[in-house]
Amino acid sequence: MYLFSFYRMIVSVLLGALCWFFIFHTWWSWVLITILSRIIWYIVEHALLNVQISKDFRVHETSFKQLYGPYGIRLINKSETDAIVRRELAEVFTRSMKKLAKTVEQLEMMDTLFKAGMRPDGDTYLLHDLKLKYGKHRLDNETSK
């Protein structure tokens, strides 16, 4: 089963082997196609992830702004220019309730550390705090339905 966790690599090597077997009968074609197919896979995977994040943002950004007022507006505006903040917020804007529950669990653990005195600087703590509150809010709304 562990071997199947490398499915991207396996598919890339198989594409290289198919190219070697059917088109070019040189070793460098196998290596080149393997590398190119992995690069293309990476680009497509990240493009689809960015599309998914954008869709999730459109769904949740207005309720996030309404719930948290100027702080929510500030973070949403910052996420338009800062990709790190955007990916951080996307963790609680996800459609998957399992992922959201796991994220909230991790955020609660981090919150315990922050309350013990390991608090980060201003915007980082604000981002963490609002992510935790919004994640709990979404989980509470899902369980009440």
pLDDT digits (tens, 9 = 90+) for 38-97: 888 889 888 998 899 899 888 888 898 888 888 888 888 888 888 888 888 898 998 888
User: Nearest 5°: CA angle at 47, between 43 and 51?
Assistant: 170
Mean of the pLDDT values across residues 21-39?
80
Q: How many CB atoms lie within 10 A of CB 83?
A: 11
Cβ atoms of 29 and 23 closer than 8 Å: yes
Q: Tell me the C-alpha distance between 2 and 65, whole Å.
A: 43
Identify the band that residue 1 occupies on the pLDDT scale cut at 50, 70 and 90: very low
pLDDT tens for 100-139 read: 899 989 988 888 888 787 777 777 888 888 898 999 998 8
Predicted confidence at residue 123, as pLDDT, reads 78
Cα–Cα distance measured from residue 11 to residue 71, given in angstroms and rounded to the nearest whole number: 45
